[in-house]
Amino acid sequence: MTLTELINEVYIITNRRDLVNETLSAIRSSTLKAHHVDFFYKDIFETGVAFTENDYNQYIEYRTLVPRWRAVKYIRKYQVGTNPAPGKYGDFFTLKTPENTLDDYGLTEPNIYYIAGESIQLRSTTKIQNALLGCYINPLIGGTNETYSSWIAIDNPWLIINWAAMYIFRAIGKLDEASMQEKLAAIEVQLLIQSNVIAEGY
């Protein structure tokens, strides 16, 4: 559904078309909450990273590169090909905590990365100038149809609708109605997980 369609469905349930800003806010909040139910494969975004120099140690300012960043999925080496030859995929980097980047001999673990603040630090066994970064991103939750985009709003819209209606009912003191919407949303959460945690159906 589009943002407008979601809003209209919430109005039908709550019968409070006067709560325009509150309904919009509830839908935006519910959308983000729905995407954070799990790490869904449909939220994975892949992008190339080109470093300014060819070196063993590199870093990525991930929020600059991916503004809707949520969490890292993978990083791997990539050698850019020359047309028409394709590029070459290389080793994956292993995620470490900053205090666990050294081995038992005090040497840096091979092909690792760690996250410090808003940057990803890479330590490679070979010089690299390019990499592929896979990460989970947040949905677009702007206030118009053009600035709102969520695959859950398309595939499982009733989760967003039920949660948004729940928030509105709670705000106006209708707790029984809010409880009913919460129960309906719980069912939708299970459907969302069943259909979107793995890419292959069975």
In whole angstroms, give the CA distance from residue 35 to residue 37: 6
Categorize the per-residue pLDDT at 202 as very low, low, confident or very high, splitting at 50, 70 and 90. low
CA atoms within 13 A on the CB side of 131: 33
Nearest CA to 136 among 31, 50, 40? 40
In this model, does residue 183 exceed pLDDT 80? yes
H/E stretch holding 19 reads: none
Mean pLDDT over each residue of the chain, to the nearest integer: 92
In whole angstroms, give the CA distance from residue 48 to residue 77: 10
In this model, does residue 83 exceed pLDDT 80? no
- At 108 the pLDDT is 73
At 104-138, the pLDDT tens digits run: 666 678 899 999 999 999 999 999 999 999 999 99
Q: Name residue 72's beta-bridge partners.
A: 135
71 in helix, strand or coil? strand
Mean pLDDT of 20-41: 97
> How far separated are the first and last CA of the chain, in Å rounded?
26
In this model, does residue 148 exceed pLDDT 70? yes
Q: Which of 36-40, 94-98, 196-200 has the lowest mean pLDDT?
A: 196-200
In this model, does residue 102 exceed pLDDT 90? no
In this model, does residue 84 exceed pLDDT 70? no
H/E stretch holding 102 reads: none
CA separation, residue 79 to residues 48, 53, 133, 153 (Å): 10, 14, 13, 37
- At 106 the pLDDT is 65
In this model, does residue 21 exceed pLDDT 80? yes
In whole angstroms, give the CA distance from residue 128 to residue 156: 41
At 59-70, the pLDDT tens digits run: 999 999 999 999
Q: Which of 31-40, 45-54, 72-81, 107-116 has the lowest mean pLDDT?
A: 107-116
> Which of 89-97's residues contact partners 24+ apart within 8 Å by CB, and which partners?
89/132, 90/126, 90/128, 93/122, 93/124, 93/131
